[in-house]
Chains A and B, each alone.
Chain A
Amino acid sequence: DAKTTQPPSMDCAEGRAANLPCNHSTISGNEYVYWYRQIHSQGPQYIIHGLKNNETNEMASLIITEDRKSSTLILPHATLRDTAVYYCIVRANAGGTSYGKLTFGQGTILTVHP
């Protein structure tokens, strides 16, 4: 019960923006949206998280819809090294079954090609 739905795979041209969607229609009011990625043969790496406002850091931007039922991770200028599996996760700040642990779904395999 990962509580999120992502497309299994996406392609992106190097240098272009990669927009990775995630549906979380059953998200609760106290649940945050997290994104991690896993490059082949490595452990997952944190990217970004948010509650309801859009967020930006040095790696990516996170756009969360007003009803919070979906979000989009944006890699503004994808490089070949961004090829990875991207996981969208919902996680509660306190209480509830998702408190504390990160529950990973199948994620989206993003392939960045030259």
Chain B
Amino acid sequence: GAGVSQSPSNKVTEKGKDVELRCDPISGHTALYWYRQSLGQGLEFLIYFQGNSAPDKSGLPSDRFSAERTGGSVSTLTIQRTQQEDSAVYLCASSRSIQVGTEAFFGQGTRLTVV
């Protein structure tokens, strides 16, 4: 595709439910990142994938959060037993690699609201 695509664009869920957020990176990009941004805050790194290497999960805030990337392309971020503090915009980005000089392109994000 022309850019990074995220779906849904908005999601409202009840506390305690599980949610899945999808990211379609730019074709051919081997690196994929997930960030979240709470209202009025900066971006918080969650996880990144690079090719077939083990993902860097160092930013995942709890074991309720997980992500996978199938076939080196589409990624899904799953939040189990959602809490109100999970409400945020979840941003996905992709780049040709994680090497310096390769810029990351961000999607428009998924706005998650936990009620």
Contacts and interface: CB of A to CB of B under 8 A. Distances in A.
Q: How large is the interface on B (under 10, 10 to 19, 20 to 34, 35 or more residues)?
A: 20 to 34
Contact of A107 (B42, B44, B56, B103): B42
A105 B42 contact: yes
Nearest to B101: A49
8 contacts: A42-B108, A43-B108, A46-B105, A49-B101, A93-B99, A101-B98, A103-B45, A104-B44
Nearest to A97: B58
Given A43-B106, A43-B109, 15 more contacts: A42-B108, A43-B108, A44-B43, A44-B91, A44-B104, A45-B106, A46-B105, A87-B42, A93-B100, A100-B50, A100-B56, A102-B33, A102-B45, A104-B43, A105-B42
Given A43-B93, A99-B98, A100-B98, A106 B42 contact: yes
Interface of B: 4, 31, 33, 35, 42-45, 48, 50, 56, 59, 91, 93, 98-101, 103-109
A87 B35 CA distance: 15
A91 interface: yes
A32 B101 CA distance: 9
A51 B59 CA distance: 26
Interface string A88-114: 000111000001111111110000000
A51 B103 CA distance: 15
Lowest 4 A-B CB distances belong to which pairs? Answer: A43-B106, A46-B103, A104-B43, A100-B98
Given A46-B104, A49-B100, A101 B42 contact: no
Contacts of A44: 43, 91, 93, 104, 106
Contacts of B109: 43
Nearest to A32: B100
Contacts of B48: 100-101
Identify which of B43, B50, B109 gathers the most chain A CB atoms within 10 Å of its CB.
B43
Nearest to A47: B103
Nearest to A46: B103
Contacts of B44: 104
